[in-house]
Chains A and B, each alone.
Chain A
Amino acid sequence: MVTSITSFGRSGVSDWLVQRASAVVLLAYTLFIFGFLWLHPSLTFQDWQAFFANGAVKVFSLLALLSLCAHAWIGLWSVTTDYLTTRLMGAKATAIRLAVQLACALVTFIYFVWGIQILWGF
């Protein structure tokens, strides 16, 4: 079986499934948040903070954050492995690709930690 050491699930089928499951979570969360904003046109700070203080909203937000990180990594991995190739970038392609992928992983990790700090820090 062909495996790639930088792919998220170490196999294409796993990445494919994680990408779709996380997409459904992210779509549901997006509709949930925008539905709330749509229903509360003149939202006050107290209402907004109370909304995110709700345990269920916090858990859903954490699930969305986790899904976003997995989804972004698989997507960026696909894009970087498609375009940062020897054919398009020359001999240094592997080094460039790994550097960009590491930078993407670092930003993803920062988003994750930051997101948790926001959700549990107010």
Chain B
Amino acid sequence: MSNVSKERPVNLDIGTFKLPITSYVSILHRVSGVFLFAGTGLLLWLLANSLQSAQSYAELQESLSSVVAKLAIWLVLAALIYHSVAGVRHLIMDMGIGEDLEGGVLGAQFTLVCSIILALLAGVWIW
């Protein structure tokens, strides 16, 4: 690699593009994934406290009644919902369905609409 110029021009400067909906759906899949990696800490903490003792379970119920706690859990659930729906879209596309331009856009729109509806339902469930 040493004799290859490190200042080679970059053809596609993605920062100057107007991105299609499929790009946003893909980037959100990554963002929600990284967010869920942090959210896993919260979920494990919830599981640990819910299983430890009847007292820690009751204390957890108490602390989860606050708006901030509900919002934090909703954010993790919303990310989980989006990441799951976008993941299912990936699996469907792996089977060769919706791989063309129209199918890709339709799948991306479907992913967004489905996730928003499910995230709202999750919010109703929490509150």
Contact = CB atoms under 8 A, between A and B. Distances in A.
Interface of A: 20, 23-24, 27, 30, 38, 45-46, 48-49, 52, 68, 72, 75-76, 79, 86-87, 104, 107, 111, 114-115, 117-118, 122
A52 B80 CA distance: 22
Contact of A20 (B36, B40, B84, B94): B94
Contact of B33 (A52, A75, A87, A111): A75
Contacts of A27: 84, 87-88
Lowest 6 CB-CB distances: which A-B pairs, in order? A45-B57, A122-B51, A45-B54, A118-B48, A75-B33, A23-B87
Given A45-B57, A86-B6, A118-B51, A76 B80 contact: no
Contacts of A68: 40
Nearest to A83: B30
Contacts of B10: 87
A72 B10 CA distance: 30
B51 A79 contact: no
A107 B44 CA distance: 12
B91 interface: yes
B114 interface: no
B22 interface: no
A46 B2 CA distance: 64
Nearest to A49: B51
A87 B37 CA distance: 26
Contacts of A79: 30, 33-34
B34 A76 contact: yes
Given A24-B91, A46-B54, A107-B37, 11 more contacts: A23-B87, A23-B91, A27-B87, A45-B57, A72-B36, A87-B10, A104-B37, A111-B40, A114-B48, A118-B47, A118-B48
